Amino acid sequence: MEILPMLKDLLSGLGVSVEIFAFTLLIALPLGFPVALGRMSSNKFVSGVFRIYISVVRGTPLMLQIIFVYFAPYIFFKMPLSRYPRLLATVLAFGLNYGAYFAEIYRGGILSIDRGQFEAATALGFSKVQTFFRIILPQTIKRVIPAIGNEVITLVKDTSLAFTIAVTEMFTIAKQLSSAHTTMTPLIAAGAFYYIFNYLVALGMEKLEKRYSYYS
């Protein structure tokens, strides 16, 4: 098969993979904080709700969650599937899934902060909001960056699961080309693209970790 047309097709699929990746992070990274705080709430009902959410998300396959999110509008509201973009369903499913994982990472980071820092901030007249944003949050970010980096790298590879509802991201296109031309070349090329993508993500996370090193 011709290399240039293959690469062009794979790059178009890579664009979709990058969209899924970027929009998932835009949803999941901020979503994780309120979920983490809700999980840590002293109110048993609130804490229980977020505990169940995290448990369900982490205890079921992402592929199943993508299918559920895509068909949910039809099941519950009889909305025609043609009006519900597959890419939107994919991004929502990914965002809810990774939001739960990020929440647990944030929660672990917050709990790792010495309790004495909370007490010292209170003694100095800081409000709870000021304590969280000025003292706790910067330290938490520094501590959770390595774990966040691991999840972000996993997300790059998980974008291939979008094929579940026929979203034509890079891996789907690679499989189609490989099957049509009876060759492994498209899959090998896709693997190379995933590696480069992950390398760039890992490099970015490493730079971010160094940026926050002054909190050590």
Confidence of residue 214 (pLDDT cuts 50, 70, 90): low
Over residues 125-144, the mean pLDDT reads 81
Q: What is the pLDDT of residue 215?
A: 46
- Sequence-separated (6 or more) residues with CB below 8 Å from residue 64: none
Does pTM top 0.85 for this prediction?
A: yes
Q: Return d(Cα 158, Cα 100) in angstroms, integer.
A: 15
Instruction: Please give the radius of gyration of the chain, using alpha carbons only, rounded to the nearest integer.
Output: 21
The 10s digit of each residue's pLDDT in 161-174 is 999 998 989 999 99
The 10s digit of each residue's pLDDT in 23-75 is 999 999 999 999 999 999 999 999 999 999 999 999 999 999 999 999 998 88
**Tokens linked to 82:** 């043609």
Q: Return d(Cα 118, Cα 128) in angstroms, integer.
A: 8
Over residues 5-21, the mean pLDDT reads 93
The 10s digit of each residue's pLDDT in 92-131 is 999 999 999 999 999 999 888 887 777 787 787 887 778 8
Q: Are 169 and 159 in contact (CB under 8 A)?
A: yes
The 10s digit of each residue's pLDDT in 148-165 is 999 999 999 999 999 999
- Sequence-separated (6 or more) residues with CB below 8 Å from residue 137: none
Q: Does domain 3-215 have CATH number 2.30.30.40?
A: no
Identity of the amino acid at 197: F
